[in-house]
């Protein structure tokens, strides 16, 4: 039976924690489970621009197009404040804390990765 995992990111730096979270999301998807990522605060920049982390996010989203079940939502206000709202990877959806609550409520497992 497929499970639903919500992954909450709040650190926009390409740290070992962030990269491990992306690898974890990839493995969860590969096992046929649904992954919902909510990136808030500075983590809204993880899926923007070019570089290792945005490329990894784009690859995960492409996997979602090809049969995986991945949702990636960034906090719209944070993305606008950081000037990255128009540079998000294809498939990233701007949202708010209502989306976060929806992910958490629907998930079988919630993981929070980052600071704080």
* Domain ranges within the chain, ordered by starting residue: 4-107
CATH topology of domain 4-107: Hypothetical Protein Ychn; Chain: A, (3.40.1260)
pLDDT of residue 83: 95
Share of the chain above pLDDT 70, in %: 93
**Strand runs (DSSP E) across 25-68, as ranges?**
34-39
- 23: its two tokens: 């690898």
Residue 19 pLDDT > 90, yes or no? no
pLDDT of residue 57: 87
Q: What value, to the nearest 5°, has the Cα angle with vertex 39 and ends 91 and 36?
A: 60
pLDDT of residue 102: 96
Dist. CA 96–CA 116, nearest whole Å: 19
Which tens digit of pLDDT belongs to each residue from 60-98?
888 765 556 899 999 999 999 999 999 999 889 999 999
- CA dihedral (41, 45, 46, 47) in degrees, to 10, reads 120
- 101: its two tokens: 């609550």
Count of C-beta atoms within a 10 Å radius of residue 90: 10
Dist. CA 26–CA 18, nearest whole Å: 13
Average pLDDT, the chain: 89
Phi, psi of 11 (to 5 degrees): -120, 120
């Amino acid at each position: 039976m497929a499970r639903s995992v919500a992954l909450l990111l709040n650190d926009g730096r390409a740290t070992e924690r962030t990269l491990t979270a992306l690898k974890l999301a990839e493995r969860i998807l590969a096992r046929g489970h649904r992954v919902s990522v909510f990136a808030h605060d500075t983590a809204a920049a993880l899926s923007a621009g070019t570089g290792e982390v945005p490329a990894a996010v784009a690859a995960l989203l492409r996997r979602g197009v090809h049969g995986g079940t991945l949702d990636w939502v960034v906090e719209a206000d944070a993305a606008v404040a950081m000037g990255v709202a128009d540079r998000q990877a294809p498939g990233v959806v701007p949202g708010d804390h209502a989306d976060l609550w929806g992910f958490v409520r629907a998930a079988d497992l919630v993981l929070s990765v980052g600071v704080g």
